[in-house]
Structure 1
Amino acid sequence: MSDALVQRHDEDRIAVITLDSPGNRNALSRRLVAELGQALAEAGADESLHGVLLRSSHPVFCAGADLKEAATVDMVEAARSIIALQRSIAALPVPVVTRLDGPVRAGGLGLVASSDIVVCRDDVTFALTEVRLGLAAAVISIPLRARLSPRAASAWFLTGRQFAAAEALEHGLVTGVVDEAGMDAAVAGVLDDLRAGARQGLVEAKRLLTADLVADFDARGDEMARLSGLLFHSQVAQERMAAAIRR
């Protein structure tokens, strides 16, 4: 394995893209976002593929924003990069299947919501923790509001509480929930179904399904990026992020 934060290998017309930044629990650092964006761009240009599998090399799928980095960089530009990353998942020609074997927090839910199919282990937990730091789930609100029931969105955005895989399934965040022993077979079944399809059919079906979401990214992405940056650079958020890092 290289020292890259995002790895790719192919398995019979499926690009397997693996988040591999254990030092910060796959937080959305500028480097990870850039490497994942590049991997997705390369997969999008590969006409041999029938799908992409997005997964993590270790238990935590994604911890959200990199709080240490957020104190030192232009978070408007960082937010624009995350908008572009989510859009690239939604606009990729072939389906993106996300495998969740561990916790997902904050910005990581944007990757999940932008994906086409999500297979989730039954002990995975989620939380939109932004509100507890003086933030709002701005850049990820675009795919989340497209997927979630309005009542679930209100509860999760406003309370920041942790919720389980069963609740995520009930309200549309994930596609299926299985136990640890069944994960490999469940994911393999989805990928085999994608391999059985004709690429032309997969591409056109996905285009139909994601057209509104891609248009929403284009219409509202910059507004959400500016809001996110404003909140990240606010005094209350800076103080709360510093306290969270010290814990």
Structure 2
Amino acid sequence: MTPISRTRARAVETLSLDSTDTRNALSAALVSGLAEALTECGKDPDVRAVVLTHTGNTFCAGADLRDPPGPEALVALLRQIVELPKPVVARITGHVRAGGLGLLAACDIAAASSTATFAFTEVRIGVAPAVISLPVIPRADQRALARYYLTGERFDPREAVRTGLLTVTGDDVDDALAPILDGLRQAAPQALAETKRLLTARVLETFDRDAADLTALSARLFASDQAREGMTAFLERRDAAWAV
């Protein structure tokens, strides 16, 4: 069963992360399936924009600790979202953790319902938000990132809007997205592609400059003793040995 489900309405293709048993964690299969679906959307002249959403109460729980993708595969997926010649819009009605915030930041526009929650939880399992920083750091407030990267605290949609991680929030996410999607449908495909290139140029500069170093950092940290303890503690639902 594919971890990605697809629907289309009025030239907008909706890709849903559909692996609720793992809280849509970034497994090798999910990353591969999403990359394949995005490739097809990018080539389809009948697709004006892509909505990235989810089934269940979690948009994405971060890396699948039992079946993680390689850091290179995650870099490639994030870059694919940024480079896709069509706008990618995140639609969130649940929780977003760790690597899920990388997906969100790679999207051009992001909307969430008022019940969504967010957290960069990497430090709590002994690693760092390395690869996902490629789209996150260029697009978000640096002071806010210092707080949430270093503490792993949860924050709400209004704070996510303030920090630049979200575009808009509302009680009904579809109401909030309706004028945005209508606007995209009114725009010429060529104009959308070239305007997106203008907006993503600096993000792609970060990929070009930092991807290799951050991929190496991620691999090193995930292989460390502290990461093994942190991931074991997470899976066993206990505090890690360093917690005081």
Letter in 2 for 1:98: A
Letter in 1 for 2:234: A
In structure 1, what is the Cα distance between the partners aligned to 2:208 and 2:19?
Answer: 29
Alignment RMSD: 1.1
Distance 2:208 2:41 in 1: 21
Contact kept in structure 1, 2:65 and 2:231, CA below 8 Å: yes
Alignment correspondent of 1:230: 220
Conserved 8 A contact 2:97-2:118: yes
Partner of 2:159: 167
TM-score, with structure 2 as normaliser: 0.94
Structure 2 residue identity aligned to 1:227? L
* Equivalent residues in 2 for 1:36-75, closer than 5 Å: 36-70=34-68
- Tell me, in whole angstroms, the C-alpha distance in 2 between the residues paired with 1:239 and 1:224: 22
**Equivalent residue letter for 2:196:** K
Q: How far 1:246 sits from its partner (Å)? A: 1.3
**Secondary structure at the residue paired with 1:206?**
helix
* Deviation of 1:183 (Å): 1.9
Distance in 2 (alpha carbons) for counterparts of 1:183 and 1:40: 22
The CA deviation at 1:12 is 1.4
Q: Structure 2 matches for 1:47-196, cutoff 5 A?
A: 47-70=45-68, 78-179=70-171, 182-196=172-186
1 CA distance for matches of 2:139 and 2:101?
11
Shift, 1:228, TM fit: 0.3
- State whether structure 2 residue 53 is matched by structure 1 residue 22: no
The residue type equivalent to 2:48 in the other structure is: H
TM-score, normalised with respect to structure 1: 0.93
How far apart, in 1, do the equivalents of 2:115 and 2:27 lie? 26
Runs of at least 5 residues in structure 1 that lack an aligned partner in the other structure: none
Q: What is the one-letter code of the residue matched to 1:202?
A: L
Alignment correspondent of 1:217: 207
Provide, for residues 11-30 of structure 1, a one-character-per-residue CA deviation record: whole Å limited to 9, x for no partner.
11111111000010000000
Give a deviation string over 1:167-207, Cα, whole Å, max 9, x none. 1111100000101xx22222222111100111111111101
Distance 2:31 2:218 in 1: 16
Select the structure with the greater relative contact order (CA < 8 A; seq sep ≥ 6): 1
Q: 1:68–1:245: 8 Å Cα contact kept in structure 2?
A: no
Contact 1:15 1:43 in 2 (8 A): yes
CA-CA distance at 1:86 after TM superposition: 0.6
- Structure 2 Cα separation of the partners of residues 158 and 183 of structure 1: 29
Query: Is the Cα–Cα contact under 8 Å of residues 92 and 173 in structure 2 kept in the other structure?
Result: no
Report which stretch shifted further, 157-166 or 26-35: 157-166
What SS class does the counterpart of residue 143 from structure 1 fall into? helix
Q: How many residues align?
A: 237
Name the structure 1 match of 2:240.
none
The corresponding residue for 2:10 is 12
What is the identity, as a one-letter code, of the residue corresponding to 2:86?
V
Distance 2:149 2:233 in 1: 21
Q: Tell me the percent identity.
A: 44
**Contact 1:17–1:54 (8 Å) recurs in 2:** yes
Structure 2: which amino acid aligns with 1:134? G
